[in-house]
Amino acid sequence: MANEEKPDFSDVELGSSSTLPTPEPEEQTYTIVSGDSLSKIAKHFYGDAGRWREIFEANRDVIKDPDLIYPGHTIKIPSA
């Protein structure tokens, strides 16, 4: 019985790079600095301070209280 065995390519490693710029990642990060607030960050990224909650929701794992954010922490900024 002719059993045509297919080669296993599960350990193939692929990669790529380009001289062209690559688009901005959909989700940015931001490192909090002294004097920041979620409203201020929302205003900076979205132009709307009222969207602070979106940032808060995306960072529930690191921000427990939206009024307490700490300089040096890096948070995720969801795409606008």
Partner 1 sequence: MRFHRTTTLILLGCIALFGCKKKEEAPPPETVAPAPVESPTPTPTPATVPFKVTSIDLGKAIGPDKKVTDPTTTFGPKDTIYAVVSSEGSGPDVKLTAKWTFGDKGQPVGSEDKTVTPNGSASATEFHASKKSGWPVGHYKVEILADGTSAGTKEFEVKK
Binding positions for partner 1, rule: CB under 8 A: 6-9, 11-23
Shortest Å, Cβ 17 to partner 1: 6
Shortest Å, Cβ 28 to partner 1: 16
Nearer to partner 1, 19 or 34 (CB): 19
The dihedral built from the CA positions of residue 45, 21, 26 and 36, taken in this order, carries a sign that is negative
The rounded distance, in Å, linking the Cα atoms of 57 and 70 is: 16
The rounded distance, in Å, linking the Cα atoms of 78 and 39 is: 14
Shortest Å, Cβ 5 to partner 1: 10
